[in-house]
Structure 1
Amino acid sequence: MLSPTPPTLSDGTKVVDLVNVNTREVQMRALSDPELYELEMERIFGKIWVFLGHESEIPNSGDFVTRDMGSDSVLVTRDKSGEVHVLLNLCTHRGMRVSTLDAGNTQIHTCIYHGWAFRPNGAFLGAPVEKETMHGKMMSKEELGLKKARVTLYGGLIFATWNIDGPSFEEFLGDAKWYYDILFKRTDKGMEVLGPPQRFTVRANWKAAGEQSAADGYHTLTLHRWLGEVGNYSKKGEGEGSGGDLSPEMYGVEVSSPHGHALRCIDLGRKIRRMTGLDPDVLSVDEKLNALPPAGMTKEMVEQLKRNLTPEQLHVQTSMPPQVGGIFPNVLFGFVYIPQADGSVVGSMTMHAYVPKGPDKLEFVNWIFAEKDAPQELRDKMLRQTIQLFGTSGMVEQDDSDTWPHMTLAAKGAQGKKMTLKYQAVYETGAPKGWPGPGIVNEGFTKDDTQWHWWLYWRQLMGDAV
């Protein structure tokens, strides 16, 4: 009997050797190799939990949207009982896409090729000219339904996996869930989307964006330097550097995960001083929440936090709240505070997915959220501010989406593909004294640990013997 072996590329390179664990380097080839891309579709997007959207996008029976799980198109539907389903968008007759629409509402999904029809739960209804039994008699109708993924809802977010008997979603999140709950499960009614997600195509490998989403704060100092030079961001606070110096924002707490999830927790006290003029050192938990409510919340909403979060989570929320981070493999989220000209603060709640469309192409998908209880005036401000900064034409995303194509092109070069991505800035601190949260926690100036753990999990998934 042959023993299981890890995958090897056509030139003899073992996939695991692309990530040098001892020197914390990744070969640039990983951002361009077509063979790797095909393996990723099977071993990553075909195996783990993938983010697809939010249930408020399909509020009614029969609502659906089309999304992608790696290289596969899927239908995200809601049936008459209110249950959410994720179905492979492939007719079981001849392989035509069941739906060619981005979204809609129907109780019967009908393939335009031969008319085979399916319910929102994927069940096969029948084919035209029923008396002729054009679906044949070799397979039952139950066997001809659309392929179904395993689905979970988390704070209204929709995740799915083809690994039907694999780890649960909670196991996939691991210790990171404790922190994600502070963001996604903090209010009584939860979040909802502010319209359909924005989408645009970037000529880049999905991992160039994906690894950045693993809480890379360092690039902000240079790529987003303008944040400290223009508008309300340029105003200095106590102990802060000159205009353009964003280094104070690089200090905080970072949480890594063996599954590649990551969070950047940034000092709230510094923001309270800067934006309100109050001294956070003399404020209670309640006073901090009222002085600067969490991004996307009003003072009237903060009481909900006490009903939904533990005292330990409230401690983190009022000291070093998570503001930016990622969910492996391709999701970035931001819950950030945006200063206004009148001295007020508007929160932004956004999520990006970097959907692979080939070895050198990704689709950038951007969702903008608000709490269901948020007043309309706040929702309008959040939508406008988030589009301006983090939308498909936003000032921040114009910076980021310019770097990824350059990295992908460089990784195709005869010499460039032999060079390495380096993650050698290593934390040596550990968690702050008294830190109540779980996980791999470090404090201080942002380092490479979160992104490095992202690559280690990529290596694990890609290198597993079969």
Structure 2
Amino acid sequence: MTIDDRPRTDVGPILSDGTPFADLFDLDKHEVSMRLLKDPEVYRLELSRLFGKAWTVLAHETEIPNAFDYVARHIGADPVIVTRSRSGDVNVVLNICSHRGMQVCRGEAGNEKQFKCPYHGWSFSEQGKFMGSPVARENMHGAFRSKEELALPKARVELYAGFVFATWDEDAPSLDDYLGEIKFYQDLMFDRTESGLEVLGPPQRFVIPANWKCPGEQHAGDGYHAMTLHRSINELAASEADDSSMYGIDVSANGHGLRLIDRRKGKWKDNREAVLAAQTLPPFEKLKSIMLPPGMTPEMAEKLDKKLSEAQMKVLADYPPSVGGLFPNMGTFCFEFPTPMGMAAIISWHAFVPRGPGKFEFINWFLVEKDAPEDFKDLMRRASTLGLGTTGFVETDDADTWPLMTESAEGFMGEQQKIRYGALCGEDQPLDGYWDEGEFPGGGHLYPGFTKDDAQWNWWLRYRDFMLGDPWGPEAHH
């Protein structure tokens, strides 16, 4: 039997053993089947229904600063080339020759005005236009397709905070609408200065033997795991009590999620009294002094009011966003981090690119404000490699967990088990009369208090929308 991918708005596609896809979710108990972490049929559906439609991140524009620069990446399992045109526009084209299916670009990065397929020599421009084939007088491109029809397919491209997003879906909403209310908070991490961010060199790229959804749903808002899995970080510098960093606000919107950390009460080992004393200051004054945003110098913070609103500065000073993710397969980070050279910061984006049901490519960008001093950039580079990525002691913890979750789903009993999201805060406005002027300014679904499962469950609901075939419809979970 083969998978039945006919539209079924009630139950979704029917898997080859007769199981309706919708039955892999228990909406009443907030549970999903562990079969979702290993099933090859589910993976094939994800490639078309999810990665064929969603906006996903591919690169940062500072990786391709010059005309005809390129990097090779993937949208789902599809190889693509991210290029810079002579005009400065960014393009994303399918890296599959329209002749016999060979990849026209073999390098990971470089500068090319044309991409020449190594198989038969067909050539394409940096925008995917078919330029010609060897022995032009013989018309080797054939008699049935025009040259225009033989161009490499182009994805829709939009940029946010310098990051290049792409989608194959012509009906998808704009990237701004796709980000929705989470953008208010993401701006506080990545779009807070007029000069913007730049990459600290090429991204790290490595493969982890695990299903991509393990890190995907974790980055929607799982702060709880840090108490146990990342306990060493709390012991180093985070808080006086084991659970103090667990309190704040979890934010969810369109399947995206973020954790806002409560910084008002001085729950920090080295500066509690100063934090408490600063509570009487206006937000902009806080941000220039004791509440300096991660990855910024005092001189850089002087310019925050040129980019951010008063409401954004108030949130950034009191409830700064720190760790989160953009649906479906991205992680975002902006937080202070201790090093042997002193306190530094990490600004990072991750992409979890599927390479099959049981492995994914982990792409890890380290970033810094363009206007930062060189010694400051070097300190952030050191902090980033110490904390995150291939050698980072934070993510070596995660890289041990995700493969074992995926392996657990392989067994007869394992695939029958459930992943549970039963600990819920419930949606509410922040406590303690924090926002006297009215509702909390950032919007989204707000879950104040101890970090729980709400935002991660919303990630799964958004995943379910895509997999049932109606991600943009009125019934979708936004």
Query: What TM-score comes out, normalization by structure 2 length?
Result: 0.92
Give the CA deviation at 1:166.
2.0
What letter matches 2:178 in structure 1?
A: F
Structure 1: how far apart are the matches of 2:334 and 2:267? Answer: 16
Q: Which of the residues 378, 385, 408 maps onto 1:387?
A: 385
Classify the secondary structure of the residue corresponding to 1:64. Answer: strand
- Structure 1 ranges of 4+ moved more than 6 A: none
Q: CA separation in 2, counterparts of 1:339 and 1:419?
A: 39
Alignment of 1:249 with 2:245, yes or no, is yes
- Tell me, yes or no, if the aligned pair for 1:202 and 1:363 is still in contact at 8 Å: yes
Which whole-Å deviations, capped at 9, do the CAs of 1:304-360 have from their partners, x for residues lacking one? 210111111111001101111000011111101113567x53111011111100000
Report the alpha carbon displacement of residue 286 of structure 1 after superposing the two structures with TM: 3.0
- Once the two structures are TM-superposed, the CA of residue 412 in structure 1 deviates from its matched residue by 1.0
Is residue 288 from structure 1 mapped to residue 286 from structure 2 by the alignment?
A: yes
Of residues 105, 109, 112, the one that matches 1:106 is 112
Residue 237 (structure 2) aligned to one of 233, 236, 244: 233
RMSD: 1.7
Aligned-residue offset at 1:465: 6.7
Count of equivalent residues: 452
Q: CA deviation at 1:268?
A: 2.5
What residue number does 1:453 align with?
A: 458
Paired AA for residue 192 in structure 1:
E
Residue pair 1:275, 1:339 contacting (<8 A) in 2 also: no
Counterpart residue type for residue 200 of structure 1: F
Alpha-carbon displacement from aligned partner over 1:89-119 (angstroms, at most 9, x marks no partner): 0001110001111111010111001111111
Question: How far, CA to CA, are the matches of 2:339 and 2:41 in structure 1?
Answer: 48
3-state SS of paired residue (2:347): strand
Q: 1:266 aligns with which of 261, 264, 269?
A: 261
> Aligned partners of 2:36, 2:452: CA distance in 1, in Å?
22
Q: 1:58 to 1:271 in 2, by over 3 A?
A: farther
> In the alignment, residue 457 of structure 1 is paired with which amino acid?
R
The one-letter code of the counterpart of 1:44 is L
User: Could you say which residue in structure 1 is the equivalent of 2:76?
Assistant: 70
Counterpart-to-counterpart distance in 1, 2:340 and 2:17: 58
**Is the Cα–Cα contact under 8 Å of residues 253 and 431 in structure 1 kept in the other structure?**
no
Give the match for residue 57 of structure 2.
51
**116-125 vs 282-291, greater mean Cα deviation:** 282-291
Shift, 1:4, TM fit: 4.2
User: Which residue of structure 1 aligns with residue 443 of structure 2?
Assistant: 438
Measure the CA separation in 2 of the matches of 1:350 and 1:195: 12
Give the deviation of 1:302 after TM superposition. Answer: 1.0
State the match for 1:402 in structure 2.
400
In structure 2, which of residues 155, 173, 192 is the aligned counterpart of residue 167 of structure 1? 173
Aligned partner of 2:469 in structure 1 is 464
Contact 1:45 1:70 in 2 (8 A): yes
From 113, 125, 145, give the equivalent of 2:151.
145
Taking the aligned partners of 2:128 and 2:420, their CA distance within structure 1 comes to 45
Q: Aligned equivalents of 2:167 and 2:223: distance in 1?
A: 29
Q: Which amino acid aligns with 2:257?
A: A
Which residue of the partner structure matches residue 36 of structure 2?
Answer: 30
CA drift of 1:437 comes to 1.4
The change in CA–CA distance for 1:137 and 1:428 in structure 2 (over 3 A counts) is closer
Matches of 1:465 and 1:399, distance apart in 2:
36
CA gap of 1:208–1:273, structure 2 versus 1, over 3 A, is closer
Letter in 1 for 2:187: D
> Alpha-carbon deviation of 1:301?
0.6
- Stretches of structure 1 that go unaligned for 5 or more consecutive residues are none
Select the residue among 96, 99, 107 that pairs with 2:102.
96
Instruction: State the 1:271 CA deviation.
Output: 5.7
State the distance in 2 between where 1:328 and 1:380 align: 31
Shift of 1:424: 0.5
Amino acid at match of 2:366: I
Letter in 1 for 2:237: Y
Shifted more, 265-274 versus 74-83: the winner is 265-274
1:124-143 equivalences under 5 Å are: 124-143=130-149
Q: Structure 2 unaligned runs (5+)?
A: 1-5, 472-478
1:372 corresponds to 2:370: yes
Match of 1:354 in 2: 352
Secondary structure of the structure 2 residue equivalent to 1:121: coil
Change (3 A) 1:446 1:272: closer
Q: CA deviation at 1:194?
A: 0.4
The residue that corresponds to 1:85 in the other structure is 91
State the structure with bigger RCO (CA 8 A, min sep 6), 1 or 2.
1
The code of the aligned residue for 1:332 comes to G
* 8 Å Cα contact 2:98/2:152 also seen in 1: yes
2:337 alignment partner AA = I
Aligned-partner SS, 2:250: strand
Deviation by residue 1:29-55 (Cα, 9 ceiling, x = unmatched) = 110111000000101111110110100
Equivalent in the alignment of 2:317: 318
Does the 8 Å contact 1:204/1:361 carry over to 2? yes
Residue from 413, 420, 423 that aligns with 1:422: 420
- C-alpha distance in structure 2 between counterparts of 1:121 and 1:429, whole Å: 46
Contact 2:237 2:269 in 1 (8 A): no
Q: Deviations over 1:48-70 (max 9, x none)?
A: 10110100000001100000100
Q: Name the stretch that deviates more: 279-288 or 259-268.
A: 279-288
Check conservation: 1:272, 1:292, Cα contact below 8 A: no
2:475 equivalent in structure 1: none
Whole-angstrom CA distance in 1 between matches of 2:267 and 2:369: 22
Q: Return the alpha-carbon distance in structure 2 between the equivalents of residues 436 and 384 of structure 1.
A: 35
**Farther-moved stretch of structure 1 (70-79 vs 422-431):** 422-431
Instruction: Write the distance in 1 (CA, Å) between the matches of 2:339 and 2:212.
Output: 33
SS at match of 1:436: coil
What CA distance in whole angstroms lies between the structure 2 residues aligned with 1:222 and 1:405? Answer: 18
Change (3 A) 1:169 1:451: same
Percent identity, aligned pairs only, is 48
Match of 1:220 in 2: 226
Partner Cα separation in structure 1 for residue 265 and residue 134 of structure 2: 66
